[in-house]
Structure 1
Amino acid sequence: MDTPESREWQRLAFVENRDGRAAALVFAHQGIAQYESAIRESDSCGNQYGAAYRESLMASIQVYREYLQKNETPA
């Protein structure tokens, strides 16, 4: 099934296979920052991309957080 979650898992797997786990971790951190920013902007009547895609952005953020939780080593 093609869901926002499955697409993000596929993207993470692609980046990890192509560039390594460290790059996939960076990708996940950047994705969270970008998607949260889009949501914040839409909440403050700015760019409405975040409003239009809020549910899929939230689903993607959750996948990224789960990936980070599973793959980052504690400091």
Structure 2
Amino acid sequence: ENSQVLTTKEYVNGKWITTKGRFKVYSSWSESIKDHTKLMINGTDYNSQNYQAVTQASDYNEAAKALQEAHYAT
């Protein structure tokens, strides 16, 4: 699996910090979208239901809250 370490900002304990993170590298935009869709539908390796509340949300507010609760973004 191809990846690259990049500088990113994370929200930790109520404040923004700058850190390094490892991110997948895709050969195309389409490949990244397909992989993201699989993640939302199939969940993570440790929890296949991790994003179920996101995919079943009735509106974008509910979906955004579910993403945060699923620890998708920090």
TM-score, normalization: structure 2?
0.27
TM-score, normalization: structure 1?
0.27
Higher strand fraction (1 or 2): 2
RCO higher in structure (CA 8 A, sep ≥6): 1
Higher helix fraction (1 or 2): 1
